[in-house]
Structure 1
Amino acid sequence: MRYGAATRLVSLKSLNRMNNRRFDFLGVKISVINPEIAAQKIKEYPFTGPAYICFPDASVVKEAYTDPLLKQILNTAYLTMPDGKPSQIVARLKGHKTVSTVSGFHLCHALLQTDLTHYFYGGNDATIDSMKKKLQQQFPQAKILGYKAPPFVSAAEIANSELVKADIENIRALQPNLVWIGISSPKQDYLMHHFHRQLPQSLMLGVGGVFLYFADETLRSPEWVKKMGLRWAYRLLKEPKRLWPKYYATIKFLLQNRSFFLKLLFRKKQPALS
């Protein structure tokens, strides 16, 4: 093994040890983290080996509950962010009082104001055009190396898509520090799983609908709604036909696993770190 490769492996192992503090949310190991620590960890990342970051909300936890591959993808990410109030509630019930929801939008907003370089891969052509204009206005000093709307492929087709492979090769040539993936979840998690090794000098972040929020901030819920944990309700009011089946299934899943929450609520012992 070459010295450089050995160094990369050592550094990645060290990072994994640093970031192994996690708590269990129905089989998904969520990082013990908050927005400030998340931003700092990403700023300090050495970019000497491939890695990715996931943002699973409760609906993705539901999917992972019966999907071993998705669960593995989430549990082996460099960081698995608590995205949404249910994750934060579980963390607090387990005794992790400093954990709070990490918003992909706010994290991206903060990191665009650093010297890190960025590439945005997601959305559609209209979203990308609008987002590009907004980011150029809001962050004129940001080091953005490119934007691209990916082809529409199913989760099962991602790994073998020649179009996606070509896009990843183009991103690899640019060597951005951060590659923001803005497609539906868990599809974006499969994409990062299959392709992060082709980007050895980049950190991939699956941030879902964040591209839409940058393109049109009126789609975002007000901060008071987010703080109350009612972002899902706000989005449901905006898009009831599209989101109701997803939210209904997620609420049903959480209710079916209410014993998990009740045990945490009435537990007496302090949590053991995973």
Structure 2
Amino acid sequence: MPRLRRNGEGAEVIMAVHPSGTVTLAGRELFLGGQAELLAHIESLLPAQSVHTVITPNVDQALNLVDDARLRRAYDEAEIRITDGFPLVKLGHLLGGSRLERHTGADLLPLVAAQARRLGWRIAVTGGEEHIARIAAETLRRRFDADVVAVPFPRITSVEDDGSRKVVDELVQLKPDLVFVCLGSPKQDVWVSHWRSELPPALYVGAGAAVDFVAGTKKRAPATIQRLGAEWIYRLVQEPRRLARRYLIRGPRFVYIALRSLLLAKESAR
């Protein structure tokens, strides 16, 4: 696949559907298929012999790819790119990518926990408030009888902060199969990319607020609202100060990506 194309200011981020049926965002292939196919793909990677990463592109991340070189590196390194953002899924469908489905880190954490006992997986959750990660791990152990361990994550000034070594060392000792890193994007994705050479073999998932949802400290939108693509409104009402800029100021810039993608698809079809 081609790498991100550059314009005068950063990288040109477009979505494209190729004759082979693959769907790419910023030149990198997105995962196609439903939950069963995603679980099968994850199972095929475990037990891991090296560090694999799952990244979850949404509108905000697509916009960050334009100017954030470290996030682009993490995006390029990812083994699986699951499409989190509803607008991205709808754009993919408009372009002809009918098999593009929405998957989120919040969905994936309980999904793999439900399979963990049967498949012998150990899951680590880290990031966010320590007590929240601990409650989330306890909840998943109780609900699924899964081997889930919370790894405390210190407050760090940057992803390079040496305070991260305590997390790396604990993960090395735990030898998990999957690690859900819940720091929010781009921080979670850049953190894994930066420490990649020292992390133990496992599948690392950038999972945002997944621990908060499992612990019950934040509520997800009802399924009906999710299917309508209005989950962002539900979250904005819950956290207006944190999310207003993302959704109301930055979000509309996605229109350029969508229009550019549709225009290039039309040109290539001639």
TM range (shorter): 0.7 to 0.9
Task: Please name the residue that 1:54 is paired with.
Answer: 55
Distance 1:22 1:52, change over 3 A: farther
Task: Find the partner of 2:121 among 109, 113, 116.
Answer: 116
Task: Please name the residue that 1:126 is paired with.
Answer: 131
Report the AA paired with residue 83 of structure 2.
P
Task: Please name the residue that 2:32 is paired with.
Answer: 32
Task: Please name the residue that 1:9 is paired with.
Answer: none
Which residues of structure 1 form unaligned runs of 5+?
Answer: 1-19
Task: Please name the residue that 1:90 is paired with.
Answer: 91
Task: Please name the residue that 1:64 is paired with.
Answer: 65
How far apart in 1 are the matches of 2:29 and 2:250? 18
Task: Please name the residue that 1:196 is paired with.
Answer: 196
Indicate the SS of the match to 2:30. strand
Q: CA deviation at 1:227?
A: 0.8
Task: Tell me the TM-score normalized by structure 2.
Answer: 0.82
Indicate the SS of the match to 2:204. strand
Task: Please name the residue that 2:221 is paired with.
Answer: 221
Distance 1:94 1:76, change over 3 A: farther
Report the AA paired with residue 151 of structure 1.
P
Indicate the SS of the match to 2:225. helix
Q: CA deviation at 1:113?
A: 2.0
Q: Is the 8 A contact 1:58 1:250 kept in 2?
A: no
Q: Is the 8 A contact 1:28 1:61 kept in 2?
A: no
* C-alpha RMSD over aligned residues: 2.4
Q: CA deviation at 1:267?
A: 6.6
Report the AA paired with residue 238 of structure 2.
K
How far apart in 1 are the matches of 2:243 and 2:210? 16
Distance 1:104 1:257, change over 3 A: closer
Which residues of structure 2 form unaligned runs of 5+?
Answer: 1-19
How far apart in 2 are the matches of 1:250 and 1:82? 19
- Percent of residue pairs bearing the same amino acid type: 20
Q: Is the 8 A contact 2:125 2:150 kept in 1?
A: yes
Task: Tell me the TM-score normalized by structure 1.
Answer: 0.81
Distance 1:69 1:193, change over 3 A: same
Task: Please name the residue that 1:17 is paired with.
Answer: none
How far apart in 1 are the matches of 2:185 and 2:122? 24
